[in-house]
Amino acid sequence: MLSHPEIAELTALRRRLHQFAELSGSEVKAAGIIEEYLAGCNPDKIITGLGGHGLAVVFDGNLPGPVVLFRAELDALPIQELNSFDYKSLSKDISHKCGHDGHMAILCGLGSVIAKQRPFSGKAILLFQSDEENGKGAARILADQRFTTLNPNIIFALHNFPGYPEGQIVVKHGLMFCASRGMRIILKGKTSHAAYPENGLSPQRAMCRILDAFETLSLKNNCEDEFSMLTIVFARLGEEAFGVTPGFAEIGLTLRAADNNVLRELSAQAEQIVRDSSRAHQITYDIIYQDEFAATINDEYACKFIEDAALASGLPVNFITLPFRASEDFGNFTTRYEGAIFGLGAGEDHPQLHRPDYDFPDMLIEKGVLILFNIFRLCQEYWSK
């Protein structure tokens, strides 16, 4: 399907994207590199600036048929790379530690294969979204009128998964990734001279009480339907001034749950703890939510296309029984469209995602292109029956 020079070209493309890593919301160079590459594949339409710096590249078939969308992500992470290879990130303290550079290269490879074997029916849409890591990008794309008109029948995405054998297809019916949201709690008291703490109102005791009470929500339920957990990610109290008592505290945490309703319930319980503790110590508080992700639900018939395409590609399939606790912005797409996301094993001993020594394994590019092309081919055959 891909010749050696084509694989070498995609590998070079992946490494170029790796060098120009950009944070969520500022993926200008990546979008430009992708647009330039795919313009060379003569698509029927390229939509740029979609929900930020996103782009959609459309290949039309001759006959009516399924509109099949494949998604990749444009953003990198605020992590300083520990690797020393010659294509290491040129962006200070920013690098591709989730493998989105590899996912982009795979979608570009799919574009070059489709350019040689144009769809006989339907359409293939290659969607590159910005802002995946902060959970903002999918909602922005869904709100963009130009995206709505594309009207996909079915949507797919893949993510590389370290910890699984290289090339293994990891998939699950129903809940694949949990819903999650970040909660920022700001506790407001009053400072005083450190020699006269009785003149101030320190949020210290309320903060300790909240942190203690949150332990009861840390892993409330581990079974699939009711799963929920609360993880503290940071806490701050006062300033580094030895003459001043704290007048301010901040706690950051992530709430996760099996579905959006369980997540709402967990949020209400956490809010209740903040309300009671603040009241008990006469301080005021604010709660801000951010980084919100909907649960990613895989449709069974979309999983069937993935399974059949894996077999056709000679890749082993692993149907897992428990969902991942992590979240995926793709969940916003699966609440609107039918589809599924699957994992592509990156090697059992490969460094985990978001670690400073992680790098996308280049040998996954060919496997990724192969399975996505087979999914597209099977969708066309199924719709033409």
For binding to Zn ion (CB under 5 A), which residues are involved?
98
CA nearest neighbour of 344 among 22, 105, 89: 105
Residue closest to Zn ion (Cβ): 98
Nearer to Zn ion, 187 or 328 (CB): 328
For residues 363 and 347, what is the distance between their CA atoms, to the nearest angstrom? Answer: 11
For residues 325 and 371, what is the distance between their CA atoms, to the nearest angstrom? Answer: 25
**Residue 359 Cβ vs Zn ion, minimum distance, rounded to whole Å:** 14
* Contact residues for 256 (Cβ-Cβ < 8 A; gap 6+): 178, 179, 180, 227, 228, 229, 230, 231, 263, 325, 327
**Residue 103 Cβ vs Zn ion, minimum distance, rounded to whole Å:** 8
**Residue 217 Cβ vs Zn ion, minimum distance, rounded to whole Å:** 24
Handedness of CA 222, 234, 207, 277 (dihedral sign): negative
Nearer to Zn ion, 13 or 341 (CB): 341
Nearer to Zn ion, 98 or 370 (CB): 98
* Contact residues for 279 (Cβ-Cβ < 8 A; gap 6+): none
**Residue 98 Cβ vs Zn ion, minimum distance, rounded to whole Å:** 3
* Contact residues for 370 (Cβ-Cβ < 8 A; gap 6+): 1, 2, 313, 315
Nearer to Zn ion, 329 or 366 (CB): 329
Nearer to Zn ion, 96 or 281 (CB): 96
Nearer to Zn ion, 170 or 378 (CB): 170
Nearer to Zn ion, 98 or 124 (CB): 98
**Residue 170 Cβ vs Zn ion, minimum distance, rounded to whole Å:** 14
Nearer to Zn ion, 98 or 262 (CB): 98
**Residue 159 Cβ vs Zn ion, minimum distance, rounded to whole Å:** 6
**Residue 118 Cβ vs Zn ion, minimum distance, rounded to whole Å:** 30
**Do 98 and 117 contact (CB within 8 A), yes or no?**
no
**Residue 370 Cβ vs Zn ion, minimum distance, rounded to whole Å:** 21
